[in-house]
Structure 1
């Protein structure tokens, strides 16, 4: 079996080496990326698949997340109980998550138990049985998860905002699907989605910790041989393209009535896709705007006026679109004032930019967060998998720090003027029967 291995992957833009990262291309289009982390006795590993909720058609809505439940219910070699007992016996963690553009099945174990964990993951991802009885059993579990989401106003708000901003595009659909789509989903639909989409050219095996790269590559090749044999000439699937124009700023308002004690607000605009060279500038803007205790939004909304306990901004970047949004939770009678202050802050930053001191603090916060976030093996494994699927390359921490350092106040101000001086999209979850009960500051967004 032929492997092609490279170590110390270069970062093309700067030539900076990534000496701890090694890569092997296996038959079937499988990529294996590892990072050896000195001084630890654990390994975090994951099998990443370049398929997420945006890849589902209407009949499959929620299929990727449904499979996240089902694949652990048993394989041709292991029962669900056996999988649980095998991991519990070594104190390991086994789990998965589904996102809009990818899915990851992962484990965190002692270094000596890594071969077992990788074998379990490969077995689960490629050799599941998807028994009819398990499909019905997990249908109820997924429906309960949807009900739990509906009971969490903040989660519900995020989905409502995406649905409003993305309109009918798949990126606006909930990852878990809807009650209707889950109730109507057949075992054949799930099986076809799994077999048709979870292919080895879309797979990345990522691992970080106390490991030997060649050993991990050999184990992955053995564990995934049968799956790879279905794609003998498979070529790794590259990152999704960054075509622009998916989102247009538009004035819009969405309300979801909820018998809650608080009003939950999200205001936002289209952001940048992840291929945009200004994405680091956007991260600095977001951090200064609402990323920490010294951010402008936190200071204006909470510290100076005491209008909300929680207020923050966030941004999300996909292959062809992005969002920049502000969240605030407040008493219903304060919603109008909160909306007014948030809109004033956004308008002020759009018109005048941020001060040099704000930008310096934001950059320092990002630097610290990046480095501290790399202290554990799970974070490093996630960075490996996401970077390969999203960009097709690995960026060193040093390169990322250089990009942060290079951001100037002028760049942040220019981007703020571009992104924030547009119509706002708003979503509200709270104790209102219809939009007429919302404050006027929100109604004029409709």
Structure 2
């Protein structure tokens, strides 16, 4: 922990850094505790829209200047929006850290949101929404969220809808921006060959120039996370039938977090998993099949995705549930548990070879848990998972057969 430092700066921004001297690079991310679940329904998609507008120009940089500047640093600049978080990030050589910080802070806090760019970006994002609807695997996932979460904010698509995007204007964007992007709601995470004090000095310097334009941060109330279980069929003339099976899950802070991760690796989280081996390799029923666990702040869900021929849908679904029931019965070998743990353990260590992954992990731990979690602790938590823990997680997620959501896109024969 001696290489990790945390500091709340004068502006209210929380700065966390982890020094890794064996890297020449540094990854820096500005993380905002906001995303689609904090949006009013009529503003659905506005967090993602604002993320796009960060790259359209500030008082001191045009969009061409932004692109040229990151190119001259030989770096990468990108951003993403999720259900609960928004992040703008870069990876550069450490010698360029000050320029990179200046750029990131300028984009997040000095963007102009010009009216003409707002109108142009509407068309871009409407095309992005159309792209999702044209991709059956992506669209089936969006429909699944709606089916599973019903009236919860988690049902809303991150991109928004055609109606909400079309209704955005500069005033709505500025009002929402000022309510969520307050520096007190921001975490800056940096990892690589760095000096914490120099980074803090740079952030303090650049934040002094930020004009106060933010509302007070509001404490986020617990969101509605009620789920709906049942069968949902969305008929569409497709060559394949895409279906997702949704089950109860756990939150990011849950004590069974790592047990669920091991369970996922056994069931469908790797190419040696039961679903992949049995449904695809042995039976040839699906080309794409996998499971995954999604961890939110207040809850989570577990799901299985498969793309199959319409005439193989019923058989595929039956086989998937048989595999789930077999795990619930306790038919899990010691080798499966050991191999699943090794898959997660070594995958985690590989991720720590990247400054970007270290930066991401530290930011998420700070935002959700308010603390640094050493690599050694994660490895211990993985190692502690045993047969009893996996069986307990399986019972918790899979035992209630009434708690299963099936969302289908395509044709059923």
**TM-score above 0.5, yes or no:** yes
Aligned to 1:149: 132
2:286 is paired with a residue of what secondary structure? coil
Aligned to 2:41: 58
1:23 is paired with a residue of what secondary structure? strand
Q: How much has 1:134 moved relative to structure 2?
A: 0.6
Contact 1:206 1:384 in 2 (8 A): yes
Matched, 1:404 2:387: no
Structure 2: gaps (5+ residues): none
Q: What does the per-residue CA deviation read over 1:163-209, in whole Å, with 9 as the maximum and x for residues that have no partner?
A: 11111101111100011110112221111111111011110111111
Contact 1:31 1:204 in 2 (8 A): yes
Q: How much has 1:32 moved relative to structure 2?
A: 0.8
Contact 1:27 1:228 in 2 (8 A): no
Q: What does the per-residue CA deviation read over 1:201-251, in whole Å, with 9 as the maximum and x for residues that have no partner?
A: 11011111121111111111112224486689x89x99x78x698335x53
Q: How much has 1:36 moved relative to structure 2?
A: 1.4
Q: How much has 1:309 moved relative to structure 2?
A: 1.4
Report the TM-score when normalising by structure 2.
0.95
Aligned to 1:425: 405
Q: How much has 1:301 moved relative to structure 2?
A: 0.5
Aligned residue among 366, 369, 374 for 1:388:
366
Aligned residue among 22, 27, 31 for 2:10:
27
Structure 1: gaps (5+ residues): 1-17, 433-437, 440-446
Aligned residue among 73, 87, 91 for 1:90:
73
Q: How much has 1:43 moved relative to structure 2?
A: 1.0
Q: Give the Cα–Cα distance (whole angstroms) in 2 for the partners of residues 22 and 316 of structure 1.
A: 29
Matched, 1:366 2:344: yes
Q: How much has 1:353 moved relative to structure 2?
A: 5.0
Aligned to 1:162: 145
Q: How much has 1:89 moved relative to structure 2?
A: 1.7
Aligned length: 411
Matched, 1:307 2:273: no
Aligned to 2:324: 346
Q: How much has 1:37 moved relative to structure 2?
A: 1.6
- Seen in structure 2, the aligned counterparts of structure 1 residues 146 and 363 have a Cα distance that, compared at 3 Å, is same
Matched, 1:331 2:298: no
Matched, 1:357 2:370: no
- Seen in structure 2, the aligned counterparts of structure 1 residues 273 and 343 have a Cα distance that, compared at 3 Å, is same
Residues 207-286 of structure 1 aligned to structure 2 (within 5 Å): 207-227=190-210, 246-248=225-227, 250-286=228-264
Q: What does the per-residue CA deviation read over 1:65-114, in whole Å, with 9 as the maximum and x for residues that have no partner?
A: 00111111011111111111111122211110001001001011111111
Contact 1:111 1:209 in 2 (8 A): yes
Aligned to 1:5: none
Q: Give the Cα–Cα distance (whole angstroms) in 2 for the partners of residues 261 and 150 of structure 1.
A: 15
Q: Give the Cα–Cα distance (whole angstroms) in 1 for the partners of residues 322 and 252 of structure 2.
A: 28
Q: Give the Cα–Cα distance (whole angstroms) in 1 for the partners of residues 322 and 175 of structure 2.
A: 50
Q: How much has 1:256 moved relative to structure 2?
A: 3.0
Moved more, 221-230 or 270-279: 221-230
- Seen in structure 2, the aligned counterparts of structure 1 residues 156 and 296 have a Cα distance that, compared at 3 Å, is same
- RMSD between aligned alpha carbons? 2.0
Q: What does the per-residue CA deviation read over 1:261-316, in whole Å, with 9 as the maximum and x for residues that have no partner?
A: 22111112120011211111111111111111221111211122111112110000
Q: Give the Cα–Cα distance (whole angstroms) in 1 for the partners of residues 211 and 182 of structure 2.
A: 8
Contact 1:353 1:417 in 2 (8 A): no
Q: How much has 1:47 moved relative to structure 2?
A: 0.4
Q: How much has 1:355 moved relative to structure 2?
A: 2.3
Contact 1:247 1:270 in 2 (8 A): no
Q: What does the per-residue CA deviation read over 1:409-446, in whole Å, with 9 as the maximum and x for residues that have no partner?
A: 1111122112102221011222x3xxxxx35xxxxxxx
Q: How much has 1:377 moved relative to structure 2?
A: 0.8
Aligned to 2:169: 186
Moved more, 335-344 or 96-105: 335-344
Contact 2:148 2:229 in 1 (8 A): no
Q: Give the Cα–Cα distance (whole angstroms) in 1 for the partners of residues 50 and 331 of structure 2.
A: 45
Residues 103-142 of structure 1 aligned to structure 2 (within 5 Å): 103-142=86-125
- Seen in structure 2, the aligned counterparts of structure 1 residues 153 and 119 have a Cα distance that, compared at 3 Å, is same
Moved more, 37-46 or 371-380: 37-46
Moved more, 120-129 or 158-167: 158-167
2:270 is paired with a residue of what secondary structure? coil
Contact 1:28 1:228 in 2 (8 A): no
2:292 is paired with a residue of what secondary structure? strand
Q: Give the Cα–Cα distance (whole angstroms) in 2 for the partners of residues 54 and 329 of structure 1.
A: 28
Q: Give the Cα–Cα distance (whole angstroms) in 2 for the partners of residues 307 and 277 of structure 1.
A: 35
Q: Give the Cα–Cα distance (whole angstroms) in 1 for the partners of residues 184 and 11 of structure 2.
A: 6
Q: Give the Cα–Cα distance (whole angstroms) in 2 for the partners of residues 245 and 369 of structure 1.
A: 33
